[in-house]
Structure 1
Amino acid sequence: MESQRSFLLIGLVLVSFLLWTEWQKDYGPQPIQPVESTTELPAAANGVPSATPAPNAQSAVPEDITQQSLQDVPGATPIAGDNANGERFVTVETDALAVTIDLIGGDVVVADLKLYPEEQGSEEPFQLLQATNPGLYVAQGGLIGPDGPDSNPSGRPIYSVASNQFTLDGDTLSVPLTWANSEGLVITKTFTFARNSHVVDVSYTIQNGMTDNARVQQYAQLKQTTILPETGSMFMPTYRGSAYSTQDERYEKFAFGDFEDESLRIATLGGWVGMLEHYFVSAWVPPQDQNNTIYSNLLNNEFAIIGYTTPAVVVAPGSQETISSTLYIGPKDQETLAGLARGLDLTVDYGPLFWISQPLFDLLQWLFSISGNWGVAIILITIIVKGAMYWLTKKQYESFAKLRVLAPKMQQLKDRYGDDRQKMSQAMMELYKKEKVNPMGGCFPLLLQMPIFLALYWVLLESVELRHADFALWITDLSVMDPYFVLPVLTGASMYLLQKLNPTTVQDPMQQKIMQWMPVAMSIFFIWFPAGLVLYWLISNVITIIQAKLIYRSMEKRGIQTH
């Protein structure tokens, strides 16, 4: 096995892997769903779930947010009630978030991530949630059931608020919204924000001033239009869709196409639901010690809805109860997400090689903490990985050298046996055995290194820490392709030098041409790869050249012929 063939193998394995990834997204087998709950949650035509069946439960469902004008968000639309200035929307500013809350339903309809610009160098923050079409993407929640205001047939509740503008001054900020009916039921929906955080606590305090028990049930859901432009490419595939977790499945994707085929109805302890968008995620997390029901719905064949309901609560007359959920709106920060719920950190989807990707990311992050530059961290991790794999590289190049020495004898066998493949194969095996050469000795080390390369590929593609990460000179974003194609060209040149270092003994003219053009083909592939990954490959090639020279020099000192 020659080094040039190794380059061809690398290219074929990589392209095959990426093609397989793309095929799986559209045509791959769908996961078997967990056992469905025996409690039905009828999918209402307007998107808000019906409550768990209960005595005297109201079956009517309120008007959905998509039937109410949101085109003026964040401008104000007058509504009935005693809200400050008679405005419909409440704006909340923290150091990390700029949020707009709709007083009709108390939904989060706009969320700007102030620490993450839309474009590199832009002053405009990345907008994760938005209330305008096309692109509607909102986080809804409320109380349903016999006494839940979101089950009122006249429409969703209109909350009151003391002010329409809130700004975080201390470490936390509470935004209370209040709703009351004529019978004495008072509900306070409170959003609690924290400094330098994308986590929002959402609680409902139910004060029952009625003469009968109040029966309510919490729901929380994410709604997003399915009519979205395609993101990513074959070489930089990204997932945009929903996901959820159950007691049995820590992380399960539920693509927009899945909403057309089935509706989720899953009872589980804990769990969560989310919507993913490459580097960012929104997620609702219910109390993890309760039995919740996860559901999905496709509204008007346009809006995908995924959410959950928590157990029904009965509040006695003259008493009060508080129930809550957690809303996360922000980047895929693995440490934060892992602390919120089991499996939520898996929304940073490193694919099947996550068990390699995760320690590589941890090492990369540690190296960044030392160097202060993600490009330098990539160079350092390349040196560490190549150093750790040196023994495999040594075996690989020793095998290359031995096979080159055998090349004349191989040609003699070919001349002797001609087209008799069986005798040729037997003679080759006898020659390998006599000379103590393993024909797979150069290929096996390469195959062991490929998972590391692919795992690092997903680290560089999925980790939000590398979004807009500056390196040096013209490389201002390691997560996108090199704008001037310098790194791909240098990588191709380094592959050409490796070819010269390991001249081919292949006699077939067609194979020779393939090997000669392989560096060019790989350079073209690398044009669309993230600059950080191409940087890794380039440095890896340079280190391999140095290692190969050292290995050959050591072999020559030991009297082993290398050419």
Structure 2
Amino acid sequence: MNSSRGLLALALLFISFLVYQQWEIDKAPKPAVAQTNVTQSSTDTPSSPTANTATPDSEAKGRVITVANDVFRLKIDTLGGDVVESELLNYAQELNSEARFTLLDNQNGKTYIAQSGLVGKDGIDSAAGRAAYQVDGDNFVLADGQNELRVPLTFEKDGVTYRKVFVLKRGAYDVAVNYEIQNNGAAAIEVQPYGQLKHNLVESSGHIAMPTYTGGAYSSSETNYKKYSFDEMKKANLSIDTKAGWVAVLQHYFVSAWIPSQDVDNQLYTSTNNGVGFIGYRGPVTTVQPGESKSINSSLWTGPKLQEQMGAVANHLDLTVDYGWAWFIAKPLFWLLTHIHDLVKNWGLAIIGVTLIVKGLLYPLTKAQYTSMAKMRMLQPKLQEMRERFGDDRQRMSQEMMKLYKEEKVNPLGGCLPLLIQMPIFIALYWTFMEAVELRHAPFFGWIQDLSAQDPYYILPLLMGGSMFLLQKMSPTPVADPMQQKIMTFMPVVFTVFFLWFPAGLVLYWLVSNLITIIQQQLIYRGLEKKGLHSRKK
């Protein structure tokens, strides 16, 4: 296969990939999901399995306190102890903005909060109302030199003291949300913990070149990671019993997730009501005898998709950095990218470094490609003679061609293989740039101040198109078919139009890759000329 047909194949794969990913987001068949066996109430907290009662109006609010460490600032409503806002101190809301990025938010028509509580037979979050916690103070901040901040909220009822304790650690985006229950009453009590994320039912955003997913996801003992979109929530309530696992809401580079205790049986669930969706978990019923104390532990992650930290918090939580089917390529590429960045301190230079390494590893295939193409060029007179000799006898023609290729040690597909191998690498890098929060607002040089966003002046895509046109013109095998000539002429234009909307980092990779290929091509041609295998004449 010559280079022109290889480029056509690459273009077809490229366009098919874009169409497929959009179809997968919008129209892909949804998995069958059993209806939940616990009826979800029409309000904020889940129903108890033993007493299916409604809960109070979701608009009810208590006093809002602030707790903060060095990476985020949380606002907690003392009515129920829900986290109603999370402000990420190390991430700007917009490029060059002083305002910090707010993930959890319950203002200006947006609903995205992390709720938790105790339901069940003696639950303190029920139709009668949410627990109204007491706390000494309004602002709690991790002090310099302090590695842990504990903020207890206290509620008493019928001789039982409930302490909902938030534990923040330095440099960590996960916060422990633990219940300490002291039963000083005369009778045993039964409570069931839950945690859920409440979010407006919104559609995923972006466009065909840069789609972004906003919706649910979960992990269970049977499934390491699976998305569960808001559309799926509207169609069927999730209901999964699992010992391990978590539930989450994804938002491009950021995620919030409830991680229950991993050594007990939990139920993962979803529901929808009045334009909002819920994805959460219920823990097992906990019985506390008179005079007894018990603790119930859980964790809430609300922050960026930092793979190493998330992997340490819960098994498979790092899979929310979703590389799709190309994960086995994307993970080592991201590892390589981060290690090069540690040396050069610039993500654009790191991308160039990755490109150099990838092209270096592919060089043997590239050399084989152009050698094969040169040999194919030398065989053209013999192939033309065969066509004239065998005429319409295609079977005989095919047999003789294969015999000639074998004798001359020529692989007719050798010119296409490197191009096809590049496509999975391109897709892996595409998802790396789409998912890696490290590249968000990461500058390169000059006008490129955000490698995760498109080039604001379209300079890189135009340069990429020019390099592709030059590479095409330098191809050693001319295209004879007039239709193929027209297609190949417009190929750089088509790619340039697509790349106008791609992340600048990805365009940088493709541009540098083309430039390296041009240099490699010239070096290979010179070597072939010395062996008499190549002619520059067209």
Shorter-chain TM-score: what band? over 0.9
The yes-or-no answer on 1:96 pairing with 2:89 is: no
2:512 is aligned with 1:543: no
3-state SS, counterpart of residue 211 of structure 2:
coil
Moved more, 413-422 or 115-124: 413-422
Deviation at 1:36, TM superposition (A): 8.5
Structure 1 counterpart SS, 2:80: coil
What is the CA–CA distance in structure 1 between the aligned matches of 2:518 and 2:3, rounded to whole Å? Answer: 12
Rounded to whole Å, the distance in 1 between the matches of 2:68 and 2:407 is 76
Aligned partner of 2:11 in structure 1 is 11
Report what 2:430 is aligned to: 457
Residue aligning to 2:94: 119
In the other structure, the counterpart of 2:60 is 68
Question: Which residue number corresponds to residue 497 of structure 2?
Answer: 524
Separation (CA, whole Å) in 1 of partners of 2:381 and 2:446: 48
TM norm structure 1? 0.91
* Secondary structure of 2:40's aligned partner: coil
Aligned counterpart in structure 2 of residue 168 of structure 1, from 105, 126, 142: 142
8 Å CA contact retained: 1:271, 1:286: yes
Shifted more, 310-319 versus 344-353: the winner is: 310-319
Listed one character per residue, the Cα deviations across residues 372-422 of structure 1 (whole Å, up to 9, x for unaligned) are 111111111111111111111111111121222233444455566666655
Distance in 2 of aligned mates of 1:421 and 1:505 = 24
Please report how far the alpha carbon of residue 500 of structure 1 lies from its aligned counterpart in structure 2 after TM superposition: 2.3
Going from structure 1 to structure 2, the CA distance change for 1:259 and 1:308 (only over 3 Å counts) comes to same
More off after superposition, 4-13 vs 265-274: 4-13
What percentage of residue pairs aligned between the two structures are identical?
A: 49
Question: What CA distance in whole angstroms lies between the structure 2 residues aligned with 1:210 and 1:177?
Answer: 20
Whole-Å separation in 2 of the counterparts to 1:460 and 1:89: 37
Paired residue for 2:46, among 38, 45, 49? 49
After TM superposition, the structure 1 stretch with the greater mean CA deviation from structure 2, 485-494 or 218-227, is 485-494
1:244 paired residue among 199, 210, 218 = 218
- Whole-angstrom distance in 1 between the partners of 2:295 and 2:480: 79
Q: In the aligned structure 2, how far is the partner of 1:396 from the partner of 1:417? A: 29
Unaligned residue ranges in structure 2 (runs of 5+): none
- Which moved further from structure 2: 303-312 or 130-139? 130-139
Q: Deviations over 1:465-488 (max 9, x none)?
A: 000111111111110111111111
CA contact 1:61–1:150 (8 Å) conserved in 2:
no
Asked if the contact 2:39/2:52 (under 8 Å) is kept, the reply is no
219, 240, 257: which one aligns with 1:266: 240
Q: Aligned-pair distance for 1:171?
A: 2.0
Unaligned runs of 5+ in 1: 70-78, 80-87
Within the alignment, does 1:191 sit opposite 2:166 as a pair? yes
Q: Which amino acid aligns with 2:164?
A: K
Give 1:257's aligned residue.
231
- 1:297 corresponds to 2:271: yes
In the other structure, the counterpart of 2:475 is 502
Contact 2:243 2:266 in 1 (8 A): yes
- Return the alpha-carbon distance in structure 2 between the equivalents of residues 333 and 319 of structure 1: 39
Counterpart Cα distance in 1 of 2:301 and 2:392:
67
For normalisation by structure 2, the TM-score amounts to 0.95
What secondary structure is seen at the aligned counterpart in 2 of 1:406?
helix
| SS of structure 1 residue aligned to 2:125 | helix
Q: 2 CA distance for matches of 1:59 and 1:237? A: 40
The CA deviation at 1:445 is 2.8
Aligned counterpart, 1:435: 408
Residue 73 of structure 1 aligns with which residue?
Answer: none
Q: Distance in 1 between matches of 2:238 and 2:477?
A: 57
Q: Residue 22 of structure 2 corresponds to which residue in structure 1?
A: 22
Letter in 2 for 1:189: K
Given candidates 191, 194, 208, the residue that maps to 1:234 is 208
Write out aligned runs for 1:201-216 (5 A).
201-216=176-191
| 2:449 pairs with 1:476 | yes
Whole-Å separation in 2 of the counterparts to 1:199 and 1:227: 25
1:178 to 128, 151, 154: 154
Q: How many residues are treated as equivalent by the alignment?
A: 534
User: How far off is 1:448 after superposition?
Assistant: 2.3
Paired residue secondary structure (1:448)? helix
Instruction: Answer whether contact 1:405 1:562 (CA < 8 A) is retained.
Output: no
Task: Give the Cα–Cα distance (whole angstroms) in 2 for the partners of residues 64 and 416 of structure 1.
Answer: 87
| Paired letter, 2:8 | L
Check conservation: 1:208, 1:315, Cα contact below 8 A.
yes
For 1:63 and 1:483, how far apart are their aligned partners in 2?
49
* SS state at 2:479 partner: coil
Choose from 300, 318, 339 the match for 1:345: 318
Deviations 1:51-82 (A, max 9, x none): 233xxxx43232152x436xxxxxxxxx6xxx
Question: Counterparts of 2:453 and 2:414 in 1: how far apart (Å)?
Answer: 36
Q: What RMSD, in angstroms, separates the aligned Cα atoms of the two structures?
A: 1.9
- 2:52 corresponds, among 34, 44, 59, to 59
Aligned to 1:285: 259
Counterpart residue number, 2:486: 513
Amino acid across the alignment from 1:150: D
Q: Distance in 2 between the 1:166 and 1:369 partners?
A: 34
Distance in 2, Cα, partners of 1:345 & 1:204: 26
